[in-house]
């Protein structure tokens, strides 16, 4: 059985769409970036901490992830308010940024982990577009203050890398990790 160490409805939807059965078990890990901690190290550390914090049985595979957005070396996490979301959207408009997701899979005392990196380019945004989108509430629980699968889709002009990573879980990487960990040989007999 796969244990998803995440409350994210987007991660859950992606696993369902991919046909990967799971149960949800979450342990509260504070998402605080260390001073000077590189963004890649940050998301990888959080994914590993989340996976380690979730209780599991010996035959279970624990999957955890953490996503953030980086523009010009500045980390954009989840906005604290509509004003904070608008600030982030101003930083993204007309520019490229990176979506980083740290992923960790734990099973039988072993750990597989890595970071998926996707480049995204936004169209230039007017102040009216920024304020209107921030007012929808959609940005509020999203790293970088946008949902590519939602109303922000109209702002995205280019993607290089895994689309699902931007949604919150690099499905192909997760599938490869599960295969490497022997999940499919155990699950399929």
Identify the active-site residue in 41, 59, 66, 84.
66
Which two structure tokens, joined as six digits, stand for 155?
A: 């702002």
Q: Rounded to whole angstroms, how far apart are CA atoms 168 and 66?
A: 8
On whether the CB atoms of residues 121 and 156 are closer than 8 A, the answer is: yes
Establish whether 66 is a catalytic residue. yes
Q: Rounded to whole angstroms, how far apart are CA atoms 93 and 38?
A: 23
Please enumerate in sequence order all residues whose Cβ is within 8 A of that of 103, keeping only pairs 6 or more positions apart, or say none: 47, 63, 64, 65, 113, 114, 115, 116, 169, 170, 173, 174, 177
Annotated catalytic residues are 66
């Amino acid at each position: 059985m796969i244990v998803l160490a995440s409350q994210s409805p987007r991660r859950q939807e992606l696993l369902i769409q991919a046909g990967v059965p799971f149960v949800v078990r979450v342990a509260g890990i504070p998402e605080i970036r260390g001073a000077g901690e590189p963004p890649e190290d940050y998301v990888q550390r959080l994914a590993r901490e989340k996976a380690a914090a979730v209780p599991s049985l010996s035959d279970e595979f624990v999957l955890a992830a953490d996503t953030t957005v980086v523009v010009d070396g500045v980390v954009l996490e989840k906005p604290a308010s509509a004003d904070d979301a608008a600030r982030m959207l101003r930083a993204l408009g007309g520019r490229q940024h990176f979506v980083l997701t740290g992923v960790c899979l734990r099973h039988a005392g072993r750990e597989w982990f890595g970071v998926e990196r996707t480049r995204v380019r936004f169209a230039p945004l007017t102040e009216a577009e920024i304020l209107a989108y921030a007012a929808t509430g959609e940005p509020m629980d999203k790293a970088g203050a946008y949902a590519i699968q939602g109303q922000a889709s109209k702002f995205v002009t280019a993607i290089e890398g895994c689309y699902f990573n931007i949604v919150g879980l690099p499905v192909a990487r997760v599938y490869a990790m599960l295969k490497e960990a022997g999940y499919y040989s155990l699950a399929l007999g």
